[in-house]
Structure 1
């Protein structure tokens, strides 16, 4: 069965960058595409007349973006959904029927700068499939696919996704493990060179375990291992500048974690050094 990509559209420049990226990927993978436009009902009257007008506007937007997708030369299967509702709730529901959700790098909504951050962050936290957020950035030639490694199950899922992606694209897989000594005031003296070396050894072991088996599965895949003494978000963002893609793992859904991403996922989605994919644990 072929994959299905769900692409959020709203006619903006950011949305069309993501649409073009998603259509190019769908062409390569022979995936089906579903376009989704949600008319935000947050400020709308609940009267039948207002909701009817909103639904009509949503359908017109969907039609325009479907025509734009065809104008880009995409010849694959395109379906569309136009709804009125809360964007995050509607995207979450629609993600149940997708293999990948693709969004543009919008700055957020009226909640921008709040505790929950941008809509892309909230969508990545609630979606039932991996989420790709696409910025307006140039990709350096043969820049590779960067993946965050920390030894967790979420990290292993991210590595599997990133390795398959790098193999498909014929670019290196760059596995990044970042660590920092505890910054406890007055206790810096406890961090001897021996303890630092033990941390490095643990990092090397985590990467080795994380990439184990990839050479057999992808014989031609070049794997670069980077161990950086830096905050994880800073290390990943720096490593991914101009990269083909940055992949990070989310630890799953449940309770309040449905609304909050981990600090690393949240941080890289705020920075967006390149297309970022958040995988599900």
Structure 2
């Protein structure tokens, strides 16, 4: 059975970037595509006539995006769904019938609080399938491309799942897998002098052991995979954002479905989605 991708659309430049990315990936994977447009009814009148007009406008927007998808050259199946409702709730429900949910990411006050923006983070926290959040493409003048797929290693179950997904993605794409382990010596203000060079060396040795354990078995499973291990003395979000700037994909893990709190997504996943250095895939717990 082929995969199904749901791609959020709204006609903006940012959502077109997500649509283009999603269509390319669907074409590579032989997946069918469903485009979804949600009119936020939070501030709409509840009158029947007003809701009817909102639905009509949604249908027109969706038809335009479906036409764009077909003009792009995508040869697979494209369907569309237009609804009036709460965007996070509607996408959370839609994710139950998808193998991947693809969202664009807006920035700036114009789009603050709209369907995408920070709501992409909320959707990623509650979705029942993996979620890809796609930034607006940047030019070579803006950022140097770094071929490869980046994943964080920290020994947690979400990290283990992310590593497995990232390795499969890198092997399929024929690009390096860049495994990043971020470490920091415990800092107690005013007592930094207690950390000798020997203690720092011990911390680094522990980090080397942790990244070796986290990536163990990948060489046997993917003999042709180029694996790059990076130890970075920095906070995890900073390390991942720097490593992934210009990369093909960043893969991060979530703690699984369970509610709207950002903590259910994880502070690191939440942080990188706020920065979004490249297309970012949030994996789900098994």
CA offset at residue 30 of structure 1?
0.4
Write the mapping of 1:131-280 to structure 2, written as runs, cut at 5 A.
Answer: 131-138=131-138, 143-255=147-259, 257=261, 261-280=265-284
What is the CA distance between 1:49 and its match in structure 2? 0.7
Unaligned stretches of 5+ residues in structure 2: none
Q: Which residue of 2 aligns with 1:86?
A: 86
Aligned to 1:99: 99
Deviation for aligned residue 1:18: 0.5
Instruction: Assess if the C-alpha contact under 8 Å between 1:126 and 1:259 holds in 2.
Output: no
Superposition deviation, residue 180 in structure 1 = 1.2
Structure 1 unaligned runs (5+)? Answer: none
Q: Is the 8 A contact 1:146 1:239 kept in 2?
A: yes
State the distance in 1 between where 2:98 and 2:199 align.
45
TM-score (normalizing by structure 2): 0.91
Residues 151-202 of structure 1 deviation map (CA, whole Å, 9 limit, x = unaligned) = 0000011011111111111100000000112222122133222322232222
| 2:57 is equivalent to residue 53 of structure 1 | no
Q: Is the 8 A contact 2:126 2:258 kept in 1?
A: no
Q: Within 1, Cα distance between the matches of 2:11 and 2:259?
A: 33
Match of 2:130 in 1: 130
Moved more, 126-135 or 259-268: 259-268
Q: State the alpha-carbon separation in 1 of the partners of residues 74 and 178 from structure 2.
A: 31
1:128/1:245 CA distance change after superposition, 3 Å: same
**In the aligned structure 2, how far is the partner of 1:259 from the partner of 1:229?**
24
- More displaced, 213-222 or 64-73? 213-222
> Residues of 1 paired with 2:258 and 2:210: CA distance?
26
Change (3 A) 1:258 1:204: same
Structure-1 separation of matches of 2:79 and 2:217: 38
Q: How large is the Cα RMSD of the aligned pairs?
A: 1.8
CA 1:225–1:191 in structure 2 vs 1: closer, same or farther (change >3 Å)? same
TM-score (norm 1): 0.93
Aligned to 1:146, the other structure's residue is in SS state: strand
Is the partner of 2:49 in helix, strand or coil?
helix
